[in-house]
A and B are shown apart, each in its own frame.
Chain A
């Protein structure tokens, strides 16, 4: 189980690194949001799954999953808001 946890958390970290590389390397706002929200949330999911076996009680597991769900919600909405604002500014005549 321990090695499985290591594998999961490593995969999660890998996704975070990929997301960060994307954030640094992609050319504009929209692609950067794409890299950040997609890769990071997937990575976070892997880390949460990797951490579950270390928890002793069901309540702690539920808290971890709740954290993940809330971050999923918050990051998808904030990604939408940033993208929305960006597109509006693009359309606005200078």
Chain B
């Protein structure tokens, strides 16, 4: 009870800290703290899948991306206090809070839903091909949503790569390999230990997804983390395999679409798995999605425009 209260207060403090910090760096640190507290909150709400995803993607990788962006940004000019803007922002914030409070209140007035999703899921889970409820929902009962989600990720990285090509060649992180970028030997040896461990963990998390919390998004985030570490340790994997990288970015959505469409040839519905094949197909999709999600998240880091005068981003 008290732990939950402290957690809730900590979340609010961290959220306020993100917006009220004077320095951007401090904001990013608050943001990462917020992510970790949020992951703990999901754990307390007994949603370990979300906790894993939040810790890996929300706190970890987004934090890395934000810190990396900070290294490229020029020093921002001090923000002047603007009364009109502040008043407007306050009004909007108060309005949003009032709307939220009102919708929460109406939600409380509604009769309790008679349709119990948890029971429906438990009754149908044997048909899904996997034994973990979250994975069953994500990749069988509501796989349409997941398909769109990874499509959004793919669009994001395509736009990211497009933005990159608009910047002059030779100034990009992926293309510079100057000796001044050499990383300390200590970091290198740590990376040599951590990267294989991270990859093994990623495979385990992916495999665990069909019976326990885990799955493609979490595993993909771990792969991306391994890639980021390798990059910081100056082990350049991604730029050596540029062609493979682009194939890898799309293979998740491609295989997913292929599996989704092919039953239509024999008269099934879109995204209906042939009976008996569901478990295998889900593992296949998840494996491909893991590769794609990992590479997409990694590419967002590696192919970001980079200021060449700023060597370190640790």
Contacts and interface: CB of A to CB of B under 8 A. Distances in A.
Question: Do A and B associate with each other?
Answer: yes
Interface stretch (A13-21, A38-46, A79-87): A79-87
A15 B187 CA distance: 26
A81 B314 contact: yes
Which 3 pairs across A and B sit closest by C-beta, in order of nearness? A77-B190, A81-B314, A77-B186
| Interface size class, chain A | 10 to 19
| Interface size class, chain B | under 10
Interface in B178-197: 184, 186-187, 190, 193-194, 197
Contacts, number: 21
Contact of B314 (A70, A73, A85): A85
B312 interface: yes
Which secondary structure dominates where chain B touches chain A?
helix
Interface string B163-206: 00000000000000000000010110010011001000000000
B198 to A, nearest CB: 10
Contacts of A85: 312, 314
Interface string B302-314: 0000000000101
Nearest to A84: B184
A6 interface: no
A77 B186 CA distance: 7
Given A80-B186, A81-B314, 19 more contacts: A70-B194, A70-B197, A73-B190, A73-B193, A73-B194, A74-B190, A74-B194, A77-B186, A77-B187, A77-B190, A78-B314, A80-B184, A81-B184, A81-B186, A81-B187, A82-B314, A84-B184, A85-B312, A85-B314
A46 B307 CA distance: 43
A63 B263 CA distance: 43
Nearest to B190: A77
A80 B188 CA distance: 12
A71 B117 CA distance: 40
Nearest to A69: B193
Q: Which of B187, B190, B194 has the most CB of A within 10 A?
A: B190
A80 B312 CA distance: 14
Contacts of B190: 73-74, 77
Interface in B27-66: none
Contacts of B312: 85
Contacts of A81: 184, 186-187, 314
Interface in B80-116: none
A82 B184 CA distance: 12
Contacts of A73: 190, 193-194
A16 to B, nearest CB: 16
Nearest to A77: B190
Interface string A41-72: 00000000000000000000000000000100
Contacts of A78: 314
21 contacts: A70-B194, A70-B197, A73-B190, A73-B193, A73-B194, A74-B190, A74-B194, A77-B186, A77-B187, A77-B190, A78-B314, A80-B184, A80-B186, A81-B184, A81-B186, A81-B187, A81-B314, A82-B314, A84-B184, A85-B312, A85-B314
